[in-house]
Amino acid sequence: MSGTFVGMPAFPAAARDAVRDTTLRGNLRHATHTIRAKRANAVAELADWAELREAGKRIKDHTLRHLDHYLVRLEESVTAAGGTVHWAADADEANRIVTRLVKETGESEVVKVKSMATQEIGLNEALEEEGIRAYETDLAELIVQLGKDRPSHILVPAIHRNRGEIREIFAREMGEWGRPAPDGLTDTPAELAEAARLHLREKFLRAKVGISGANFMVAETGTLVVVESEGNGRMCLTLPETLISVVGIEKIVPTWQDLEVFLQTLPRSSTAERMNPYTSTWTGTTDGDGPRTFHLVLLDNGRTDTLADEVGRQALRCIRCSACLNVCPVYERAGGHAYGSVYPGPIGAILSPQLRGIGSEIDASLPYASSLCGACYEVCPVAIDIPEVLVHLRERVVEGGQVTRAGNKVVLQPAKGHAAERAAMRAARWAFTRPGVLRAGQRLASRTRRVHPRTLPGPGRAWSGTRDLPPVPAEPFRDWWQRTRNGKGGAR
Amino acid sequence: MSSRERILGRVRRALADVPEDDTPYERAVVRDYLREHGGRTVEQTVDLLAENLADYRAVVHRTDADGLPGLLAGLLAARGASTVLVPPGLDEGWLAAAGVTRVADRAESTPAELDRLDSVVTACAVAVAETGTIVLDGSPDQGRRRITLVPDHHICVVRVPDQVVSSVPQALERLDAARPLTWISGPSATSDIELDRVEGVHGPRTLEVVLVG
Ligand code: SF4
């Protein structure tokens, strides 16, 4: 499998292949169900979950509504604390900045903390072209990198691999990258983790440059926060002489106190723990402790375009906890690769088409990668109404309309020759002819009625011109599907 | 135009729908969530800390000031530790009974040198009962961040009940954002392989917490 998402087939085709893969489905089912159950318990421990969720939503919304103010504030406080701030309008610019910063250190290798922003911009590939080797140090990212593979889950990127495959990848590839796997390596998780520890330790101890993302940036104090489990983050953040953090501009919170909300909701939503093993915060540089030089690269890359969409901008509240993936009946069957993006699952279905535009077939099909069951909205710790945004984006695909691309307002034409409609129908048929997917969705749907979007699904509006379509929310989607499909023999 | 201006310009145009006099931060963010979860006595809070630390596979010990040197000596001996990394401001008396070589963390010491040491003993800044978390803030009795990261065995001493708070909000109130902070909840762990939890990938594989009260 190639290391890039470019040229991916559209969601329905990729999903069709993925559901045939029984290993993948088994792994995914086990993983999502395990995390889902644990998460529910972790959340139930906090009697004020609803209030925390509402506060998280409001903090993020307020920040987004005044993002210019908080960005300038953050820049001031990071600079005052001894850091240097860079601004990157798109992926290319971010890659150029980071490459230049690494080159200025004279180093040709860097250690990396798992970061979706750097995956989004293809940083490793850009560095490689300039002769700089980037080592992923999160265990799952290491598995993905050694396996020349792509991540498939936000939190557990190698969820599609089982222990036997991991053993093989380690035995075959580690030697190419540094310390080889020990002879006679078995497939017990403890031994595999030990092999990774030894392999990576060699790299940590000599690394001069670390590259990270951040979970949060505090405008008031200039503090960055990284939340992790393994300690690879702490290694990358403290041992190198130079630290470069690439962070999306939406990751800001106004004040130090705001962290009290997210440090409660993020771990419980993501790993279902009261608190993740390690959280690191740093404010610029500290004499004698940690990197001597700190660079913050603020990344736009489609975020301001997303911000311009009054319905879609709520996607920027996302704190990347991955709870929505674990409850999604479509993700559970299709896996993360089918989404053709570093952001898989329900959040990927609304974030990727907004960050990248809906010009490609995969991006145009992503808003259809959902049964609109509403489970993702229920679990989201910042209350992103993913179904509402999905419906809104479907409307954009089918009807066109004004969108912002690279800061300019452009009018999007309706997808040509009913291509979008066909993509939609294929996606819908894929999900709706699989009773398991649908039943899971329906069960949740009946419990989550009240959170369903108030607007009519957009494509429904488009189709109703030529088909006899009832107002969709009044009738379960499945019934509608059965009826229209049986009545009309299905659309092609 | 610089990218800074370009991005800020895009943000401002994107927010054209937001009125000038939009609700200020103080009113936009309602903080009606709890400052702590459940009512507990001080003693119960310390018990909860011990329970939650253990739940995350930290090894918990309890003693008083007089018992501390003996306990630490015993813990280090049980592990066969002969070299112990010591932050500059650690209480001299804590390791008085331990027959070990103390190694000071010097700015010049390389990560590889730290990697050869057996254990590290530190104090902490604050501990959070509800989550089973200890927080280090780089004060002289805790040292720089790397010393609690590279050695495989970390003993952290928490003064109870003074250093214990109930909740995350209470912890943040006590901490200084300007300092580099490390929040530790149990030893390093991963669940990346078929979701089987394995302790210790990169940080210390053994975390022992001594509650001194
Ligand atoms: S959309 Fe919500 S649930 Fe999904 S990853 Fe983002 S914050 Fe978590």
CA B37/CA B35 separation, integer angstroms: 7
pLDDT band (50, 70, 90) for residue B190: confident
Per CB-CB distance under 8 Å, the chain A contacts of B129 are none
**What is the average pLDDT across B192-209?**
87
Can you give the residue ranges of every domain in chain B?
40-212
CA of A361 to the centre of ligand 1 (A): 24
Q: Which pLDDT score is estimated for A429?
A: 54
Top-ranked range on mean pLDDT: pick from A278-282, A328-332, A393-397: A278-282
**What is the average pLDDT across B96-121?**
92
- Identify the residue whose tokens are 């927010």: B15
Q: Is the pLDDT of residue A6 over 80?
A: no
CA of B193 to the centre of ligand 1 (A): 23
| Domain(s) of CATH 3.40.50.10420: residues in chain A | 11-303
C-beta of A249 in contact with ligand 1 (< 6 A) = no
A232 with B188: CB under 8 angstroms? no
- The 3-class secondary structure across B119-181, one letter per residue, is EEEEECCEEECCCCEEEECCCCCCCCHHHHCCCCEEEEEEECCCCEECCHHHHHHHCCCCCCE
Per CB-CB distance under 8 Å, the chain B contacts of A223 are 177
C-beta of A316 in contact with ligand 1 (< 6 A) = no
pLDDT band (50, 70, 90) for residue A474: very low
Fold of B40-212: Rossmann fold (3.40.50)
CA of A319 to the centre of ligand 1 (A): 6
Least confident of A347-351, A394-398, B64-68, B207-211: A394-398
pLDDT band (50, 70, 90) for residue B82: very high
pLDDT band (50, 70, 90) for residue A7: low
Q: Is the pLDDT of residue A117 over 90?
A: yes
Q: Which pLDDT score is estimated for A482?
A: 53
C-beta of A382 in contact with ligand 1 (< 6 A) = yes
Could you tell me if B31 lies within 8 Å of chain A, comparing CB atoms? yes
A311 with A389: CB under 8 angstroms? yes
**What is the average pLDDT across B8-12?**
98
Top-ranked range on mean pLDDT: pick from A318-332, A400-414, B63-77: B63-77
Q: Is the pLDDT of residue A87 over 90?
A: yes
**What is the average pLDDT across A167-187?**
94
Per CB-CB distance under 8 Å, the chain B contacts of A55 are 29-33
Q: Which pLDDT score is estimated for A472?
A: 34
pLDDT band (50, 70, 90) for residue B126: very high
Mean pLDDT of chain B: 95
Q: Which pLDDT score is estimated for A1?
A: 36
A407 with B172: Cβ contact below 8 A: no
Q: Which pLDDT score is estimated for A344?
A: 92
pLDDT band (50, 70, 90) for residue A10: confident
CA of A384 to the centre of ligand 1 (A): 7
Spacing of C-alpha A394 from chain mean position: 20
B201 with A55: Cβ contact below 8 A: no
**Phi, psi (degrees; rounded to nearest 5) at A105:** -80, -15
B202 with A238: Cβ contact below 8 A: no
Nearest CA in chain A to B203: A231
Characterize the bridge pairing of strands A242-248 and B153-159: unpaired
Q: Which pLDDT score is estimated for A23?
A: 74
Give the closest residue (by CA) to ligand 1 atom 8: A321
**What is the average pLDDT across A94-103?**
98
Which is it for the CA torsion A6, A11, A13, A17, positive or negative?
A: positive
pLDDT band (50, 70, 90) for residue A31: confident
Q: Is the pLDDT of residue A174 over 80?
A: yes
Q: Is the pLDDT of residue B21 over 80?
A: yes
Give the closest residue (by CA) to ligand 1 atom 3: A380
**What is the average pLDDT across A236-241?**
96
Which residue among A48, A72, A308 sits closest to B34, beta carbon to beta carbon?
A48
B29 with A59: Cβ contact below 8 A: yes
C-beta of A381 in contact with ligand 1 (< 6 A) = yes
Higher pLDDT, A306 or A428: A306
A68 with B8: Cβ contact below 8 A: yes
CA distance B11 to chain A (A): 6
pTM metric for this prediction: 0.89
Query: pLDDT tens digit string along A373-389?
Result: 999 999 999 999 999 99
pLDDT band (50, 70, 90) for residue A412: confident
A223 with A285: CB under 8 angstroms? no
User: What angle (nearest 5°) sits at the alpha carbon of residue A330, between those of residues A327 and A334?
Assistant: 115
**What is the average pLDDT across A115-136?**
96
Looking from the CA of residue A319, the nearest atom of ligand 1 is 7
Q: Which CATH architecture has domain A11-303?
A: 3-Layer(aba) Sandwich (3.40)
Query: pLDDT tens digit string along A246-272?
Result: 999 999 999 999 999 999 999 999 989
Burial class (CB in 10 A: 0-12, 13-18, 19+), A4: exposed
CA of A280 to the centre of ligand 1 (A): 21
Q: Is the pLDDT of residue B64 over 80?
A: yes
> Does residue B31 sit in helix, strand or coil?
coil
**Phi, psi (degrees; rounded to nearest 5) at B151:** -65, 155
CA distance B72 to chain A (A): 24
Which residue among B11, B28, B192 sits closest to A158, beta carbon to beta carbon?
B192
CA distance B211 to chain A (A): 19
Top-ranked range on mean pLDDT: pick from A13-17, A417-421, B42-46: B42-46
pLDDT band (50, 70, 90) for residue B153: very high
Q: Which pLDDT score is estimated for A461?
A: 36
B194 with A30: Cβ contact below 8 A: yes
A190 with B10: Cβ contact below 8 A: no
Least confident of A204-208, A304-308, A439-443: A439-443
